[in-house]
Every structure is written in structure tokens, then in C-alpha cells.
Structure 1
């Protein structure tokens, strides 16, 4: 809160402190000093410790003046003393940037100085209770403000994660396919010029992927903690339900205790299962599918295995979106490995292994 501007409520605090000053029973010169000591409350938000020390100094000087210059003590009916003590204690707790001992020192000095009031035990008790309540409420406000800031930062981090994830998913997938197609074209081109153009396209695509990774790294650093929120894999049950509605028989099995994975691993795993189920629906209608997620030390494995399809089966399915080469490239970009092939019984299997996030 350092440097924060005064607000109307701060002016109200000055007026309240000035009103309390009139109940102290001090002569006019002393009242002027007390009113002057209340004016700094306007800057409590920007300089809370300085304001607290002014109040503590007032609490020390006036009892001394009663001894040295025979200034009478505050009247017995005074609500609290010094009048600005409650606001000063609250400000030190609520607005001080230093959360260590420094913010406690002026409050402690203020509390001890109040004990020096001669013959005003009831006033001392009221003031100490008021200071204690103001201190506790100031601590509550400080914790509440810090919590709100942390929640706002987390929401911003989640949004950054979403945007970075979408950029990574969409752009990386398309550019990776372009690079793969360009590489295939370079190998199959019949003339040197065609091969050169295809190779140039492939090189440009690789540069684009490098620049994309660099941009994602900047987004990670921009949050201060990276956009890996350490969440488990996305829920795969909606994919199973969707496949069941299309006529597929899908079983989902989860082994082990779910552990956090990075955001890119979670999205890639979800796309892997989604595309694998779509592939079964297109190329092996009527097949039974088993999706198994196994959490192992330091990694998570996803198995998608299907039995041979029935030739007479009819199933509704969308077009296959990713080829195995594209899917393998996407898994590789997420830091994982992908194996695929026949299962020896006429079916097909896909197995991907991803690293888990550090605990």
C-alpha cells in the first residue's frame, strides 16, 4: 500500500479522532497538539508505520508533560487515549508493506505508553482493548486483501494457461502436419526444384515451431511460476459416453493414484484418446475398446486397445483428424513417447507414456 492516496474514509478518521480529542479535557494548547497528531491519519494508507509512530509519540510525550510541566491527565470520561491510537494500530497492521517485526514496534510502544497514564485504570483498560481489537481487525484485513490478490493472480495464471495451451494445440498441430507433408514431398519429388521448394517449406515450418516454443516459454516466465498448474489428467469419461452414444463399446480403467501432470500433457492425453476412439469407429466398427490409464512412479501410461471389428457393424463416427505420424509428433512435443501396432489377435493398440509433474 506504499504511496496509496488518501480516501474520504481517511478524512472521516481524522474527524472522529478530532471529536474524541474534545472529550480528553485538556487545555486548549494541548488540544491543538492532539488535533495536529490526528491529521497524519490522512496518510495512513501510504505511510502506516509513520502515522503509528506519531500516535505512539503522542502517547509518550503527554504523560511525561504531566510530570514535567504539571499538565493534567485526560479526563476520566475520555473514551480512548490518545484519540488516534485505534486508527494508527489498524493502519499499521492492515497497510504496512513490511509484515515482520517493524509493523509491530509502534503498536507495542503505543500499548506500553498507554500504561503510563496516572490514575486512569478504566481508561487504560478501554484503550488497550480498543488497540487490541483494532490490531486484530487490521491483521484480518491484511490477510483478506492478500488472499484476494492471490486469487486474482491465480485466475490470471489460469487464463494464461488456457491461451498458451490453445495456441500450442492449434498452431503446433497445423505446423507439424505441414512439416511432415513437406518432408514427404521432398523425398518423393521427381525433380530437384520440387525437392528444394519442399525442403524450404519444411525448414520454414521448423523455424515456426521453434518460435512458437519460444513464445510459450515467454508466457510461462510471464506468470512468475509458469503455466503448469499441476493438475491431474482431464476427465476421459465424456469421451467414453460420446463413443457409447455412437454405438461403440468402450471400457475405461484407471490404475494407481492420479498425480499432477503439466497442462500440455493433459491436453495431449485427451486428444490421444479422442483420436484413438475416432479411429476405431472409422476403421474397426463394432470393435470393443479398452482405455487404460496407469499412474506409475514418474510417469503416466495410456493404453487404447481394440478388438477386431465386425464387418456387418454400422457406427456413426466423425472423420479421423490426426494420422499416427501427427499424433506421434504431438506426443513427442509433450515430452512423451508413442507406440502403436497390432496386438497379435487381429486388434490394434496404442500406448503413450508421459512424464508426470514433480511433486
Structure 2
């Protein structure tokens, strides 16, 4: 019945491919859901058989001449607060490419949507309802009963707020979440307009009157200090909930590897961030100043160079790869003691 109602050709699928015959890679689950704006279809994917061989490549499977002639090597260091820091090419004129989690979530559209959603909550009075909501994560029957009573009291307001009007925004966010990892991987492999001036579109300059400044979208320190504890927790939870960008980008890289577009190799990062990439001294020290906090800036006491931790690690990873491709052993400073 579903193939009469739904045109699967729009999805580049034929009904004969979805009909169970023992050789299908994808099966239709005979289920679709709708929120009034978009429709979600359920498909089943065949599991990988145990006897199917999986080829795992490493650095030793390549040689230097092959890499220079056929590939563009990129050493990638996943950061703690950012998505990645990458060093492109083996030459001395190597390029450093970076992408932050702030940039990733801007591409997904979640930051703009969160700002609009917060303003809507304040106007409609939903924000104090959600702020004062008792937690449902409890083992106490009385506390859980309090949560249920609170939800039933404000259920109509919550359903009216999260009704059909938010369906369009949810679908657009889904599209952006699918698009953002592709854009990040393109930035990593091809540079895109961020690292290639020729690909940038020329934009007209907007005339801004003197004395007028754009208001910052982020909440200032003074405004944040005026909030009560419950509101501060709400803001902190919203910021800390942004996770999973690194894993999503890595999964997209593996998908492209399966399609034959690139090859992903893993490497041991032992002492790559603690060793100077210029003189290979392993006594890098953290630069401490009263102007900023953290351990991302390192200084070498031997050659007096200052490094950003992740850039230094990415360069060392490229040094290790070059040594292996040249037929040499892994540098001793990056070798684990047996």
C-alpha cells in the first residue's frame, strides 16, 4: 500500500529494491511519521557479515614517492575544545587549517535557533515554567509525583508552545545537521572559501553610520552576573549540551573513505603535544600570563619558540608520517618505552 501513496523514486529507490528477496541491502520498515511539516520514513540496513574482510591500512603501507605523487597528506589533531587542527602537505610551505566547535554549531544553525527560542520563551512565559520544573531523574516516589503533578499543571501551555509552529524549524535544523559535517570535511580536505580567497564571493560593503555599533549577540558578563542561580544553570546547560561534533565529523570521514574519496589512518599521538616540532626537545613548558588561562600555549626552553599545543602536535604527526614513508623508523622521541 505504501508504494502507491509514496513515490520512492524521489529517494532514488525502487519498490523492487525494498521488497524482501534475501539480497536486499535496505528494507522499508512500513512506517512513516509526520509532525505536520516533514515526513520521516523508517528503513532497515543489512548488518555487515562476520566473514566480510575489513582492510585496515597503516602508515607503513605507503611510501614517500606514492604519497607525494597521488595523495595530499593531512595530519589531523582532534582538540579538546575545537573540532580539529590540521597540517596540510609535506612541504615547508604547509598550511594550517582549523575549525572550532563554535563554527560547527553555527553551521548546524543551532546557535541562531537557540537564541530565537530563548526570546520566544521569555515572551510567552515558558522560561520560568521550564526553569522551575522539578527533575524527573529521581528514585524518590514523592519527588517523581511532584514532577508529574507539575507537568500536568502546565501541560497545555507546553503543548501550545511546542506545537506545529516548531515543525519547520526542526526540519531545517535536521537539514543543517546533515549538511554541517560535509562542509567541515570539505574545509579540511579542500580548504573551501575559508582558506582559498579565489572561492570567496564578493560582498557589498554595508554603509554603517559613525557612532553606531552592532549589539553583541552573546550575553555579557554583567548581564550574566545579574541572573539568579537557576537562570545561570539554564545558560550553562545550554552551552554544555553542544557535544558530538567531533564524532560526527569522523563518521563522515569514514563514510567518504568507504566511498573511495579519501583514506583515514590512525596514528599514535605519544608525546606529539609535549615535544617541540622544531628542535624535538621534550621539555615544553606552559606559558602563564595574567591575561589568559589555560595550557594551550607552550614555550620551548631550548630554541625559544612559542607553539600552540595542537598546531605543534599536528606538525609532529606529519614528521612521524614522513619518517615512516621514507622507510625510517618512528623518531625515538615519539617512541614508547618497552
Shorter-chain TM band: under 0.3
What is the TM-score when the length of structure 1 is the normalising length? 0.19
What is the TM-score when the length of structure 2 is the normalising length? 0.19
Higher helix share: 1
Which structure would you say has the larger Rg? 1
Whose RCO is larger (CA < 8 A, sep 6+)? 2
